[in-house]
Amino acid sequence: MKIETARLVLTEIGWDDLNDIHHLHSIAEVDEYNTLGIPLSEDETKEIIRPTIEDQKSKIRKLYTWKITKKADGDFIGLAGMTLTADRFRLGEIYYKLLPSSWGRGYATEVGKALIKSGFEDFHLHKIEAGVSTENEKSIRVLEKLSMTREGVRRKVLPIRGEWKDSYHYGIVEDDRRN
């Protein structure tokens, strides 16, 4: 499944994207609010992305991860993903992760809008959710630009570099107004 925006192309990841993904996951600034931690090797990154790549063969898909590239030059700038419940609740959870050189250019908002649109139109979801560290002000602003509503706080749920951090829970339902 491929998603296009005005400036970006989101294409499902494959094994040939391992080097770019490992590089992204290895950047300290990208890992600041991430529960993944920095992988020690490409083999560790391979195991992180294996479930998503294997799920591509499933009849009922639950995991989607897209590499994000710029239309203008095809450069890799990050990842986006959606996890589906694939049941009667019709829920999806989204995320995005960009190279620091792509921060502050509106790409995260552009990706988020595309994921929400695809979630409601292509996957026929009822609700789309996202979690964010309460300290991650930039990502909080993105989720609010996406017309997502802060629905609550999950206390000490994120294991980040040996500490338990709080997370805001955001959501948008299919009949909510969107920007």
- Domain assignment present for residue 133? The answer is no
- In degrees and rounded to multiples of 5, residue 24 shows phi and psi of -60, -45
- Domain assignment present for residue 144? The answer is no
| The pLDDT value given to residue 178 | 85
- Domain assignment present for residue 81? The answer is yes
Per-residue pLDDT of the chain (179 residues; tens, 9 = 90+): 999 999 999 999 999 999 999 999 999 999 999 999 999 999 999 999 999 999 999 999 999 999 999 999 999 999 999 999 989 999 999 999 999 999 999 999 999 999 999 999 999 999 999 999 999 999 999 999 999 999 999 999 999 999 999 999 999 999 998 87
- Domain assignment present for residue 28? The answer is yes
Total domain count, the chain: 1
| Residue 60 structural domain | 2-127
- Domain assignment present for residue 24? The answer is yes
- Domain assignment present for residue 11? The answer is yes
Give, to the nearest 10 degrees, the angle between helix 107-121 and helix 137-145.
50
Closest CA to 148 of 115, 126, 170, 177: 170
CATH number for the domain harbouring residue 13? 3.40.630.30
- Domain assignment present for residue 107? The answer is yes
Contact present, 126 and 113 (Cβ < 8 Å): no
What type of residue sits at position 32? Answer: E
| The pLDDT value given to residue 120 | 97
- Domain assignment present for residue 155? The answer is no
Q: Is residue 161 packed enough to be buried (19+ CB in 10 Å), middle (13-18) or exposed (0-12)? A: exposed
